[in-house]
A = this chain, B = another copy of it.
Amino acid sequence: MAIKTVNPETQRIKLERKERVILEAARAVFVEHGFDGARMQEIARRAGIGEGTIYSYYESKAELMLSVLQQFWDGLTLEAEGVMASVQAPDFFGGLRALAQYHLNTVILNSDFINLTFALRRNNSEVSVSRDHLRHYVAVFDRLFLRGQDRGELRADAILWQARDVFYGSLEYSARSIEMTMEAERSAREQGPVVEDMVALFRSHYGAVQTTEAGDHATVELLSSKLDQLSEKFDALAKRLS
């Protein structure tokens, strides 16, 4: 009977499910022991398959790690987009605060994965993969920033990638610092101030100028030339009077 004929999708689905199982086991082991500490044998055991089977799905341990990282970054991107969508206040700085909060938290929780993303870069030639995933992730910030510029909340001459570097770079570095000091001295250095300072920094450096006092070079020169003109008129008047 034709009904008995297995749907051609079935096998593919089964393979995909097994791939997911491998990926899940790999992720757990990598998180638990790091890249070098992870044993392929343990990954196979946790996935309930033979060690050799992994190699019919992934070329090498590094490629497996890369797939895990891929999945990881995709997850982050989705989460970040979710955070941005759920922000009530639709203004730039509100969005920035939410994104900064989310990112800082994420980076602290998954610092090992973040590091591995860059540590693996040199060895493997398939660099472009992780590069694309980074790009997708930071695109969340890019959209927020460009919308802020469109709305006039940000200076029109602000350069996107410089702002992006400041945003992600500072938060990443802060996360490392927090992690370090947290271990030793459980001192100050909370997350809150870091996020607030980031918002304040964007407000003062990239925020649109409210009054003329923060005017750009052009306005200053305009004033200067007007003063010069006035001074000349004054001199002319004084000469006539004398």
- One of A73-81, A87-95, A116-124 at the interface: A116-124
Q: B165–A194 contact, CB under 8 A? A: yes
Closest residue of chain B to A201 (Cβ to Cβ) is B205
Q: Report if A51 contacts B (CB, 8 A).
A: no
Residues on B with beta carbons closer than 8 Å to the beta carbon of A131: 180
Residues on B with beta carbons closer than 8 Å to the beta carbon of A162: 174, 193-194, 197
Residues on B with beta carbons closer than 8 Å to the beta carbon of A231: 226, 229-230, 233
Chain A interface (Cβ < 8 Å from any Cβ of B): 34, 36-37, 112, 115-116, 118-119, 121-123, 131, 159, 161-162, 165-166, 168-174, 176-177, 180, 189, 193-194, 197, 200-201, 204-205, 209, 211-217, 219-224, 226-231, 233-235, 237-238, 240-242
How far, in Å, is A208 (CB) from chain B's closest CB? Answer: 12
Residues on B with beta carbons closer than 8 Å to the beta carbon of A171: 169
How far, in Å, is A205 (CB) from chain B's closest CB? Answer: 5
A223→B220 CA distance, assembly (Å) = 8
How far, in Å, is A207 (CB) from chain B's closest CB? Answer: 10
